[in-house]
Structure 1
Amino acid sequence: MAFVSMGPMLKRAQADGYGIAAFNMIDYNSARSIVEGAADMNAPIIVQVSVKTIRHWGFKPIATWVRMMAEDTDVPVALHLDHCTDEDVIKRCIDAGWTSVMFDGSSLPFAENRERSEAIYRLTESAGVGLEAEIGAIGGVEDDKFVAEDSAILADYDECLEFVKNMPNLAVFAPAIGTAHGVYKGQPKIAYALLEKITAAVAIPIALHGGTGLSQEQFDRCIAAGCAKVNISTMHKLRFIKGFIGVRQEKPKLEEPLPFIIGQYDAMKKDVCDMITAFGSQGKAAHAAGTAG
């Protein structure tokens, strides 16, 4: 299946009460584990890429890798730019074939964030590419951005309504609801009432950032409340590292690189399959693609 746009499949997921996993790829092996894991589960998938990962591998190589994988599978695959503040990077991703991008203006004053997000929205609409936008301050580390968990700021409900009113076709909206990037230092305090209030008033799928470390109950409640896109980054990175280390511990004298690469792939792919099951998207490939029935 060719690349798909993220927005329509997220709307279908939200309407049907399941979440679509959005994994941050690291390299070719990682991207392969994401797409092939989704194929094994017959599930839609979003391959996300951080700005620092793009700067390491390049725009065209990443787009080519993921596009080839998508064309060799029967499940819908979206390629998404994660947390980006640089309009030039956004434009280059669009030119290279990304199907959606995120402009993260959450560190800006509200009025400036809205103005710049709307400008990017007009750009993505003209290019036929989906946009994710964010307000509030999600705690943790993402690329070079750090927000202490105790300094995170929940999205303001009235500002949420004002923020999206001129972006009706926004692919996904990311209001801060108490989750955090990275490994949680304590129990996440998710503002469920705020989330439910936003989704009752805003007809746009919601992104759940900071998925690593949340419980099944928390996933279930957030997805039921409208979080159709569920981000997993830290867990995938840890599997990447531990997959390599596990092979070294089992075979300390091994000098052939391929078993280490396979060990990483297997660890990451299991993570992908586990999260797809947790989010309820297994067997939903045709539904998300709009081809079911």
Structure 2
Amino acid sequence: MALVTVAELLTKAYREGYAVGAFNCNNMEIVQAIVAAAEAENSPVIIQASQGAIKYAGIDYIAALSHQAAKNAKVPVALHLDHGTSLEQVMACIRHGFTSVMIDGSKYPFAENVAITKKVVELAHAVGVSVEAELGKIGGTEDDISVDERDAFFTDPEEAREFVAQTGVDSLAVAIGTAHGRYKGVPKLDFERLAKIRELVHIPLVLHGSSGVPDEDIKKAISLGVAKVNIDTNIREAFVGKMREVLEKNPDEIDPRKILGPAREAAIEIIREKIRVFGSSNKA
């Protein structure tokens, strides 16, 4: 089937109380793993590409792989730009058939974030593409975007209400205590803040930096309006961990298929686990 928009997937998830997994891809095997896991769980799914993925694989390859995967898929698949940094990059992704884009203006003052997000919404909506934005800074590192922990700040609920009203964005990534990359300890999420945001903001919320967050915390966040959960680090850990395991057992192995094949299977398993936690199994 053809790619669908993230807004289409999240509207249903938000209404029914589950979340759709957004899984970062970097190569063919991970794209295949994302769709295979979603099909095995009969779940909608979001393939997303970050700055680093686009730089590494190239936007042409990411788009072509994802379109082919969706064409053959038995479940709804969306293709999303993760942490877009400029209007030019957003437009390039739209031209390449991305069905959803994120414009991350969180590093700017509130008014400037509103202005760039509003412009992206106007252009994207005109061609049927959905838009995610971010308010508040999420700690850690996301490819080229780094936020020092002491500079990270949480999303203000009243600002979130005003931001959504002014921009018309489809979904909002909120900062409530998660971070990109590996955690140094167990993250502590501000559920009281999330509940207040949900009271004031009536669109699907997005949780970034979710690898390493305990399953019960993810489920609680979903009960408080989170309808899209981003996973990247857990996939990398499973994928590269299996590659290391294969090479340790067979150090003379030179067939990429015998190394990357098992890594793909490991990625499928971790993605299936996440889909079950998110509650999207059998929601396709």
TM over 0.5: yes
Counterpart secondary structure, 1:108 = coil
Match of 2:282 in 1: 283
Counterpart secondary structure, 1:131 = strand
Alignment partners' CA distance in 2, 1:6 and 1:100: 6
Match of 2:97 in 1: 97
Alignment partners' CA distance in 2, 1:149 and 1:270: 31
Whether the 8 Å CA contact 1:106–1:135 is kept in 2: the answer is: yes
Q: Deviations for 1:229-250, whole angstroms, at most 9, x for unmatched residues? A: 0000111112221121111122
Match of 2:127 in 1: 127
Q: C-alpha displacement at 1:214, in angstroms?
A: 0.8
* More displaced 10-residue stretch of structure 1: 16-25 or 251-260: 251-260
Match of 1:291 in 2: none
Match of 1:5 in 2: 5
Whether the 8 Å CA contact 1:36–1:269 is kept in 2: the answer is: yes
Q: C-alpha displacement at 1:187, in angstroms?
A: 2.4
Whether the 8 Å CA contact 1:45–1:77 is kept in 2: the answer is: yes
Q: Deviations for 1:48-93, whole angstroms, at most 9, x for unmatched residues? A: 1012211222222211111111111110000000011121111010
Matched, 1:223 2:207: no
Q: Deviations for 1:139-178, whole angstroms, at most 9, x for unmatched residues? A: 000111211334320011111111110333x221112111
Unaligned runs of 5+ in 1: 286-293
> What is the letter of the counterpart of residue 88 of structure 1?
E
Whether the 8 Å CA contact 1:43–1:284 is kept in 2: the answer is: yes
Match of 1:263 in 2: 262
Unaligned runs of 5+ in 2: none
Whether the 8 Å CA contact 1:223–1:279 is kept in 2: the answer is: yes
Whether the 8 Å CA contact 1:152–1:178 is kept in 2: the answer is: no
Counterpart secondary structure, 1:252 = coil
Q: Deviations for 1:212-242, whole angstroms, at most 9, x for unmatched residues? A: 0011110110001011000001111122211
Whether the 8 Å CA contact 2:80–2:102 is kept in 1: the answer is: yes
Whether the 8 Å CA contact 1:6–1:100 is kept in 2: the answer is: yes
Q: Deviations for 1:256-283, whole angstroms, at most 9, x for unmatched residues? A: 2211010110111111111001111111
Whether the 8 Å CA contact 2:186–2:212 is kept in 1: the answer is: no
Alignment partners' CA distance in 2, 1:137 and 1:45: 25
Alignment partners' CA distance in 2, 1:59 and 1:138: 25
Whether the 8 Å CA contact 1:48–1:81 is kept in 2: the answer is: yes
Match of 2:87 in 1: 87
After the TM superposition, which residues 37-76 of structure 1 pair with which residues of structure 2 at under 5 Å, given as runs? 37-76=37-76
Alignment partners' CA distance in 1, 2:227 and 2:165: 20
Match of 2:161 in 1: 161
Counterpart secondary structure, 1:32 = helix
Alignment partners' CA distance in 2, 1:255 and 1:7: 43
Task: List 4+ stretches of structure 1 deviating above 6 A.
Answer: none
> What is the letter of the counterpart of residue 91 of structure 1?
M
Alignment partners' CA distance in 2, 1:240 and 1:248: 13
After the TM superposition, which residues 142-181 of structure 1 pair with which residues of structure 2 at under 5 Å, given as runs? 142-168=142-168, 170-181=169-180
Whether the 8 Å CA contact 2:158–2:200 is kept in 1: the answer is: no
Q: C-alpha displacement at 1:127, in angstroms?
A: 1.6
Counterpart secondary structure, 1:223 = helix
- Give the structure-1-normalised TM-score: 0.94
Counterpart secondary structure, 1:166 = helix
Q: C-alpha displacement at 1:36, in angstroms?
A: 1.0
Whether the 8 Å CA contact 1:246–1:263 is kept in 2: the answer is: no
Whether the 8 Å CA contact 2:139–2:147 is kept in 1: the answer is: yes
Alignment partners' CA distance in 1, 2:251 and 2:58: 33
> What is the letter of the counterpart of residue 221 of structure 1?
K
Q: Deviations for 1:179-215, whole angstroms, at most 9, x for unmatched residues? A: 1111111221211111111112211100011110011
Match of 1:190 in 2: 189
Counterpart secondary structure, 1:46 = strand
Whether the 8 Å CA contact 1:137–1:147 is kept in 2: the answer is: yes
Whether the 8 Å CA contact 1:26–1:237 is kept in 2: the answer is: no
